[in-house]
């Protein structure tokens, strides 16, 4: 059974950089045709795709966030990570990591529970 | 403002059939497949449908998906109280180097 677990700070100050990690168990992030993804749920309830790092290390980012986002991975820990810079209050959200499938990694069959990140002074 | 358009709410009584629509454009639903998610606050979203009408294992066949042109639909028949949740559609969008877009979500109430 594949499980994902997000970890990181619950509160970050404006203009700082958010760093989150996702630890995967039950599957290797370097095998299979999977897209290890980050998404977030904004306070209004809507879901937003942030992007993915694939099993081969390729990345794809939401154009609206591309200038501020970087993905990385630690294969020895079976973890992948998100860095989001220049934070503002608009980045306050529940952040999810998920496993992407389908042609473009655009469907998500396993999700973490989510971690609430609040951007405030 | 979400790229895909869903009704904000839907409702039905136990045993009824309800349908939730998801409207997009030629760059997303019109040219790529749609997935659907069920979400209860505080929990992980659950994949209900992928590739327009494919159910993951464990999703009952009273839940079905369809698509016509730039509109996709999720139908739930034999409505049950634990179907009360938020439902989201998603698709790949070919514009601006490609990215995943979501609907704004539909809150389904079982009366």
Measuring CA to CA, how many Å separate B69 from each of A82, B10, B32, B34? 35, 22, 10, 12
Measuring CA to CA, how many Å separate A25 from each of A6, A57, A73, A96, B71? 12, 18, 14, 15, 36
Please indicate if any CB of chain B lies within 8 Å of the CB of A10: no
| CB-based contact B44 A114, cutoff 8 Å | yes
- The span from the CA of A35 to the CA of A53, in Å, is 6
Please indicate if any CB of chain A lies within 8 Å of the CB of B44: yes
How many angstroms separate the CA of residue B108 from the nearest CA in chain A?
14
Each of the 121 residues of chain A gets a pLDDT tens digit; together they read 999 999 999 999 999 999 999 999 999 999 889 999 999 999 988 999 999 999 999 999 999 999 999 999 999 999 999 999 999 999 999 999 999 999 898 999 999 999 999 999 9
Please report where in the chains the tokens 């639903």 appear, as a residue. B29
Burial per residue of A24-45, b for 16 or more beta-carbon CB atoms within 10 angstroms, e otherwise: beebebeeeebbbbbbbbeeee
Please indicate if any CB of chain A lies within 8 Å of the CB of B11: no
**Using an 8 Å Cβ cutoff, are A115 and A6 in contact?**
yes
For residue A97, what is the nearest residue in chain B, using CA coordinates?
A: B44
Please indicate if any CB of chain A lies within 8 Å of the CB of B90: yes
Q: What is the pLDDT of residues B60-82, one digit of tens each?
A: 999 999 999 999 999 999 999 99
């Amino acid at each position: 059974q594949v499980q994902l677990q997000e970890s990181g700070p619950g509160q970050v100050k404006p203009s700082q950089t958010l760093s989150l990690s996702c630890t995967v168990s039950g599957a290797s992030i370097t095998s299979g045709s999977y897209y290890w993804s980050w998404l977030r749920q904004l306070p209004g309830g809507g879901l937003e795709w942030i992007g993915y790092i694939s099993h081969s290390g390729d990345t794809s980012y939401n154009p609206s966030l591309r200038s501020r986002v970087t993905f990385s991975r630690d294969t020895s820990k079976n973890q992948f990570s998100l860095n989001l810079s220049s934070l503002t209050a608009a980045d306050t959200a529940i952040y999810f990591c998920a496993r992407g499938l389908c042609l473009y990694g655009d469907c998500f069959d396993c999700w973490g529970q989510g971690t609430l990140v609040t951007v405030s002074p | 403002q979400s790229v895909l358009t869903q009704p904000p709410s839907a409702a039905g009584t136990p045993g009824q059939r309800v349908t939730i629509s998801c409207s997009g454009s030629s760059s997303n639903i019109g040219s790529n497949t749609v997935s659907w998610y069920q979400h209860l606050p505080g929990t992980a979203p659950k994949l209900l449908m992928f590739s327009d009408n494919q159910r993951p294992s464990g999703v009952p066949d009273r839940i079905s998906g369809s698509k016509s042109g730039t509109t996709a639909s999720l139908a739930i028949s034999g409505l049950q109280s634990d179907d009360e949740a938020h439902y989201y559609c998603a698709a790949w969008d070919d514009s601006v180097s490609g990215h995943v877009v979501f609907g704004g979500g539909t809150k389904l109430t079982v009366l």
